[in-house]
Amino acid sequence: MCPSRVAEGEERGWIIPIGGAEDKEMRRRILKRFVQLCGGRDADIVVIPTASRLPDTGTRYQELFGRLEAGRATALEIHDRADSQKDEFLRRIEEASGVFFTGGNQLRISTIIGGTPTAQLIRARNAAGVHVAGTSAGASILSEHMIAFGKEGSSPRAGSVRLAPGLGLTNRFIIDQHFRQRDRLGRLVAALAYNPFAIGIGLDEDTAAFIGPDNTLEVEGSGAVTVVDAGGLSFSSMAEVSQSQPVCLLGLTVHILVQGATFNLKTRQASAGALAPSEKGE
């Protein structure tokens, strides 16, 4: 599916994938920034806990955003495709300044919400300026191409990843989360071998990519964001190998970004930002 078109004179809302296990008790830097983007004390946040099978996931995030002084936070308990068509849920999404997808299983989100009025409305609202964030499975679902599941390991193998359609807020990147903690470089690179157009974003836990309307990615959190750019790919053996064999890929570019660093998804240029040495010190 294609991202919704941004109307002339308007800006798309921020897209904020989080690598999972974000700090909820101490500094809560990622969640605080999301609340501020959504309006601070005037923020109106909708929490969608569909990915989780735990009955209190939506309530916990609703209470958490309340403690962070968001003006309003509501958990929408969307458990089946009929729920995704409820008028009262659609009205709340229309009213919201931010949408937050919790963690769990991304295939629950895609199979329950994909193709429904809820999915269509969230795409349209993001194109109209509403900010959309997701943690763990909720991060994976945000892009057009989603990693459904795969095998851990550093080497890309043809059968190490399975892709599925995501929510489709953007087609510029593919997300993988819990990245270093679960050794997921191989499956992210394998996903890019299937679709070299997209940029791979590997998110460590307690780390987020705040992606603005100008397509600049800003790193927030205590870990790193691994950016894998296949735009300069000169060779791929993906079409020739069996499912269990490693894939040969030439021309990949990898960036490791931490707090303060940026990456422009349009120009594919990385910057160390505030981390770069000043000219005065040289």
Distance, in Å, from the CA atom of 264 to the CA atom of 270, rounded to the nearest integer, reads 6
Distance, in Å, from the CA atom of 209 to the CA atom of 243, rounded to the nearest integer, reads 31
Among 144, 178, 218, 255, the active-site one is 178
DSSP 107-148: HHHHHHHTTSHHHHHHHHHHHTT-EEEEETHHHHTTBSEEEE
Partners of 101 in the β-ladder: 48, 134
Helix boundaries (H) for 148-268 = 185-194
Query: Is 178 assigned a catalytic role?
Result: yes
Distance, in Å, from the CA atom of 152 to the CA atom of 84, rounded to the nearest integer, reads 33
Among 97, 143, 145, 205, the active-site one is 205
Do 185 and 17 touch, CB atoms closer than 8 A?
A: no
Query: Is 136 assigned a catalytic role?
Result: yes
Q: Phi-psi region for residue 9, left (φ > 0), alpha (ψ -120 to 50) or beta?
A: left
Give the three-state DSSP class for 40: helix
Task: Report strand pairing: 161-165 vs 72-75.
Answer: unpaired
* Widest CA span in the chain: 62
Catalytic (active-site) positions: 136, 178, 205
